[in-house]
């Protein structure tokens, strides 16, 4: 199903994700920022998600945990800039690699058919980015974006 594009340029610490959705920027922003809705789409399908905190405002924090039979994987960050329906800048840190903090910028751009999400993550090093890819980050992104599209269709 995935219409998600993931760009991981060799030798750079960047990951870029682009996906178009049949929704308005306001609809997409709501589903991406309300804690109960985030728990329904964030992460790989084969992991259970628990969103402990998701306070989408400048200075607000988030923390969520993915679980499977092998264990728990917690992630956290801080929202730095929030322009509803337009842009979010946040940090992202997997608690399994403390100190390897990413900066992420997500923009929502209206299109003729809906909205285009573009996210750029900047890792602290090429090695940190490559390790995230090796751990299955791309699969998690594809699943999350597909689940997000499914939830948008259901909520519309």
59-63, 121-125, 131-135 — which is least confidently predicted?
131-135
Is residue 135 predicted with pLDDT exceeding 90? no
Which has more confidence, 60 or 96?
60
Is residue 105 predicted with pLDDT exceeding 90? yes
Question: Which pLDDT belongs to residue 2?
Answer: 60
Residues ≥6 apart with Cβ < 8 Å to 71: none
Per CATH, is 5-155 categorized as 3.30.530.20? Answer: yes
Domain ranges of the chain: 5-155
What's the half-sphere exposure (Cβ side, CA atoms, 13 Å) at 42? 23
User: For a pLDDT cut of 90, what percent of the chain falls above it?
Assistant: 92
Is residue 1 predicted with pLDDT exceeding 50? no
119/140 Cα distance (integer angstroms): 14
Question: Which pLDDT belongs to residue 95?
Answer: 95
Is residue 132 predicted with pLDDT exceeding 80? yes
Is residue 126 predicted with pLDDT exceeding 80? yes
Instruction: Tell me the per-residue pLDDT of 35-52, one tens digit each, with 9 for 90 and over.
Output: 999 999 999 999 999 999
Region 133-152: what's the mean pLDDT? 94
Is residue 156 predicted with pLDDT exceeding 80? no
Q: Which residues pair with 53 in a beta bridge?
A: 63
Average per-residue pLDDT for the chain = 95
């Amino acid at each position: 199903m995935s219409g998600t594009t993931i760009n991981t340029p060799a030798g750079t610490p960047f990951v870029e994700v682009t996906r178009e959705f049949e929704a308005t920027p306001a609809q997409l922003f709501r589903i991406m920022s309300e804690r109960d809705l985030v728990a329904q789409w964030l992460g790989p399908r084969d992991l259970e998600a628990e969103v402990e905190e998701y306070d989408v405002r400048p200075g607000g924090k988030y923390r969520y945990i993915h679980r499977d039979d092998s264990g728990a994987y917690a992630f956290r960050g801080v929202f730095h800039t929030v322009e509803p329906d337009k842009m979010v800048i946040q940090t992202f840190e997997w608690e399994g690699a403390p100190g390897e903090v990413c900066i992420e910028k997500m923009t929502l751009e209206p299109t003729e058919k809906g909205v285009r999400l573009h996210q750029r993550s900047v890792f602290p090093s090429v090695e940190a980015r490559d390790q995230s890819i090796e751990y299955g980050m791309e699969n998690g992104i594809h699943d999350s974006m597909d689940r997000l599209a499914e939830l948008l269709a259901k909520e519309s």
